[in-house]
Structure 1
């Protein structure tokens, strides 16, 4: 990565009370299963995975996201139970709604055509919205133990995502850089 480049990603963040709940689960994984990596970012639903972007071009990136969000409706989101990408990732399941799938597809097209940002992996598999609570440093052994504990655990939240959020990596963790409000609150 060039020194003038930084790492960014684009996501939907839930309201604070859902973030607090997800952070408690992340802390539980850190304490019980020695999996701390998920604590390096706020709870989120990734729309555009991490990409490198030149520092000097951040205003253009932010302007592009502002323009995109300004003509999109807020998106209803439902979180339902837990799911996994075995053998390393456990996450809060995000219900695949038509609105969320359309938002993701439209954002990918917008970023590619306006800024040349392409999610190469995303082009090879379907969008699987999720809110990670444990990954990377979750061992296979701990994954098995944790998954048997979480696979039937109940969880249900609904919220309306009213912003697109740009996150920036500071070398240690991900922080909110800027938020771009959607056109309107859903009624």
Structure 2
């Protein structure tokens, strides 16, 4: 059984910038776990599947319309997770809901019980409680403001060491 998740991937320039934030989290604060996946906005959290035929996801992507995504500064979940903040958007929320419903009905993926809070993780899991105050002071003082157009979603697969992009599904709507 393979472990997968579905996400939006930003363009290469933003991926490089967010990866640099993750690298800083490792070098300055000892938190490198976020480097195991490319920068992304999780739409469907990790789920296990035997089936490796995800072609039906293209049918869903064909019905999606590209939409803007705005990233602004940093935020946190408690004292364990620091992330690039993704500004709320009805387009992003609608996309996530449609994919969640599709995965529930097509692949029997149980919906996430937590509310959807889009973000790009910079530091988590291995960010110690003692390192958190310094990390938060550093990242909360940084200014970051980027925009991109989401025109595809990606299926990522866990390799046992980290996450790789298995397939991208381009939006077909105009």
Normalization by structure 2: what TM-score? Answer: 0.97
Of 140, 155, 159, the residue aligned with 2:148 is 159
Aligned pairs (5 A) from 1:34-183: 34-54=30-50, 57-59=51-53, 62-119=54-111, 122-123=112-113, 125-183=114-172
| SS of alignment partner, residue 55 of structure 2 | helix
Matched with 2:18 is 22
Alignment partners' CA distance in 2, 1:89 and 1:98 = 24
Alignment partners' CA distance in 1, 2:30 and 2:97 = 35
Of 1, 8, 13, the residue aligned with 2:4 is 8
Structure 2 stretches of 5 or more lacking a match? Answer: none
Alignment partners' CA distance in 2, 1:85 and 1:29 = 16
Structure 1 stretches of 5 or more lacking a match? Answer: none
Structure having the higher helix fraction is 1
Q: What is the root-mean-square deviation in Å for CA atoms of aligned residues?
A: 1.0
Normalization by structure 1: what TM-score? Answer: 0.90
Alignment partners' CA distance in 2, 1:31 and 1:146 = 11
Verify the 8 A CA contact 1:162 1:184 in the aligned structure 2: no
**C-alpha deviation, 1:74, in angstroms:** 1.1
**C-alpha deviation, 1:118, in angstroms:** 1.2
Which structure 1 residue ranges, 4+ long, deviate > 2 Å from structure 2? none
